[in-house]
Structure 1
Amino acid sequence: MSINEQALGKIVHDLQSKLQEATRMVASVQAQIQTRDREKKLSVLTNKELSSLAPETVTYKSVGKMFVQEPLPKLTGELTDRVTEMDKDMAALDKKRIYWERNKTEAQGNLQELIKQIQQHQGA
């Protein structure tokens, strides 16, 4: 194996590693987005149900394995804040997803270009 072939093999290996990492990160970020979306939907539905109650209704908030009495306006405020926080998190995660998808596409393109050049060189 010549030095040129060794260098070429290292480049291919590096591009494959970059592609695998980008693919893994895209999947991870998408899973995080789905989790945040589920949490947001749960908070919205809970807030909707609580809005139908009278303001003086006794409500409880889950804290670990116990429940703590919480005034209804404070509880709905916390849920509204949680929805806002989830929206911000999802926006940041979407930017990460776009970044990793761009890296993945770039690595795929570079790898395909390199393979095409190798095939052309071997055919010549």
Structure 2
Amino acid sequence: MSINEQALGKIVHDLQTKLQEATRMVASVQAQIQSREREKRLSELTNKELSALQPETVTYKSVGKMFVQEPLPELTKELTERASEMEQDMAALEKKRIYWERNKTEAQGNLGELVRQIQQAQAP
């Protein structure tokens, strides 16, 4: 194997590794976004149900395996804040997803271009 073939093999390996990592990170970030969306939706639905109650209604929130009495206004405020936090998290995760998608596309393009160049060099 010549030096060019060894260098070429290393470049191909590096590009494949970069592509696999980017693909894995895109999937991971998308799963995190879905989780945040689910949590936000749950907070919003719970808040919607609580808004139908009288302000003096006794309410409880889950803390681990137990329930703690919590005044309704504080509980609704907490749920609203949680939904807002999830929205901010999703915006940050969306930026990460775009970054990793760009890396993935770049690695695919580079790998495809390298394969085309190899095929052209081998063609008589």
Give the fraction of aligned pairs with identical amino acids, expressed as a percent.
83
Mapped to 1, the partners of 2:103 and 2:3 lie a distance apart of: 28
Mapped to 1, the partners of 2:29 and 2:67 lie a distance apart of: 32
**Paired residue for 2:9?**
9
Mapped to 2, the partners of 1:76 and 1:82 lie a distance apart of: 10
1:29-108 aligned at under 5 Å gives the runs: 29-108=29-108
The answer for unaligned runs of 5 or more in structure 1 is none
Cα root mean square deviation, aligned: 0.4
Superposition misfits of 4+ residues, deviation over 4 angstroms:
none
The answer for unaligned runs of 5 or more in structure 2 is none
Mapped to 2, the partners of 1:2 and 1:65 lie a distance apart of: 65
Amino acid of the residue matched to residue 71 of structure 1? Answer: P
TM-score by length of 2: 0.99
- What secondary structure sits across from 1:53 in the alignment? coil
**Paired residue for 1:111?**
111
- What secondary structure sits across from 1:62 in the alignment? strand
Amino acid of the residue matched to residue 25 of structure 2? Answer: M
